[in-house]
């Protein structure tokens, strides 16, 4: 499957988005580069959405977003009156509940009385609370590629749920402008995939540490078959390196046929829960 651009996008679920970083690279071994936000300071979610929409309209791009594309339907399936909801129904619901929240913030969904009891939002673990997970998160752990948190957990430094809810609002608005893997037909289109930056580091033996040094970044990128950007005057942030590594990692993974087929026999993944790009089939 061929693409003209590979994009890694480090995400934010905070009420005021912070730490969003976008990196892009072309086919081959050319070094990935960071895309600067329009105001030269920081990306908003709306700005990131607009930038991606513009890119996928011009080129056939593979775009990786660092957030869960869905919720575990063992719980989320209860939100729908009809018997056969899909991920598109979930995105529509999350975006609709989000309403007019500034900059596509998704936290309003977890505060809505209809859905709030399913989320761990404050304090110690509620008595009897069991974190629901999607099969791809279990498969990622089993493969030794990291331990993604449940998107229903909204507490702690590693929580990913708020980013996922904001991301689903973005995916709903990008529907029809690009294909979303593994839910859509990909033929001849730009493709949006769910990614987990830790996975790329684990694949090249870099472990769990954050990459905050130009030398370490160069080592990781070389292992991914990529040249490195010229070092800057100050150390890179881990948001920037996550995006740079992801762009190069997506380029490396896209050539592996098995990556695209991983969820092929999981009907629920194909229609509702999705799959992390690069996680092998259990």
Q: What is the pLDDT of residue 124?
A: 85
Query: What mean pLDDT comes out for the span 203-230?
Result: 90
CB 101 within 8 A of CB 45: no
DSSP state of 9: E
60-84 burial, b for 16+ CB within 10 Å, e for fewer?
bbbbbbbbbbbbbbeebbebeeeee
Mean pLDDT of 42-71: 97
Checking if the pLDDT of 264 tops 80, the result is: yes
Query: In this structure, what are the phi and psi dihedrals at residue 35, rounded to the nearest 5 degrees?
Result: -100, 125
Least confident window among 40-54, 75-89, 114-128: 114-128
pLDDT at position 129 is 80
Region 195-202 average pLDDT: 92
- Residues 10, 239: contact at Cβ < 8 Å? yes
pLDDT for 246 equals: 97
pTM, two decimal places: 0.95
Residue 212's pLDDT is 87
Confidence category of residue 239, pLDDT binned at 50, 70, 90: very high
Measured CA to CA, the distance from residue 226 to residue 21 in angstroms comes to 19
Domain ranges across the chain: 5-197+221-273
Q: What is the pLDDT of residue 156?
A: 79
How confident is the model at residue 10, as a pLDDT?
96
Long-range contacts made by residues 86-93, C-beta under 8 angstroms, separation at least 24?
86/183, 86/271, 86/272, 87/183, 87/271, 87/272, 87/273, 87/274, 88/172, 88/175, 88/183, 90/168, 90/272, 91/168, 91/169, 91/171, 91/172, 91/175, 92/172
Burial class (CB in 10 A: 0-12, 13-18, 19+), 267: exposed
Residue 152 has pLDDT above 80, yes or no: yes
Of 153-162, 216-225, 226-235, give the range with the top mean pLDDT. 216-225
Q: What is the pLDDT of residues 59-80, one digit of tens each?
A: 999 999 999 999 999 999 999 9
């Amino acid at each position: 499957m061929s693409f003209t651009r590979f994009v890694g996008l480090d995400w934010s679920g905070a009420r005021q988005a912070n730490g969003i970083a976008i990196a892009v690279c072309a086919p081959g071994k050319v070094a990935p580069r960071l895309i600067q936000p329009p105001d030269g300071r920081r990306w908003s979610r709306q700005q990131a959405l607009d930038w991606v929409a513009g890119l996928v309209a011009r080129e056939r791009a593979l775009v990786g977003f660092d957030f869960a594309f869905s919720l575990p339907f063992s719980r989320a399936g209860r939100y729908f009156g009809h018997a056969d909801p899909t991920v598109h129904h979930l995105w529509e619901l999350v975006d609709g509940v989000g309403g007019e929240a500034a900059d596509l913030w998704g936290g309003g969904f977890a505060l809505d009385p209809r859905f709030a009891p399913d989320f761990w939002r404050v304090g110690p673990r509620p008595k009897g609370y069991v974190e629901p997970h999607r099969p791809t998160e279990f498969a990622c752990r089993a493969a030794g590629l990291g331990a993604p948190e449940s998107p229903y957990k909204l507490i702690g430094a590693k929580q990913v749920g708020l980013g996922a809810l904001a991301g689903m609002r973005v995916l709903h608005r990008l529907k029809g402008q690009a294909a979303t893997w593994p839910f859509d037909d990909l033929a001849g289109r730009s493709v949006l995939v769910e990614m987990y930056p830790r996975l790329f580091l684990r694949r090249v033996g870099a472990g769990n540490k954050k990459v905050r040094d130009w030398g370490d970044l160069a080592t990781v990128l070389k292992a991914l078959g990529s040249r490195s950007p010229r070092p800057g005057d100050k150390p890179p942030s881990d948001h920037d390196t996550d995006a740079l590594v992801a762009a190069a990692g997506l380029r490396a993974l896209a050539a592996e046929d098995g990556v695209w087929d991983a969820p092929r026999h999981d009907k629920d993944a194909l229609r509702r829960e999705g799959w992390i790009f690069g996680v092998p089939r259990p």
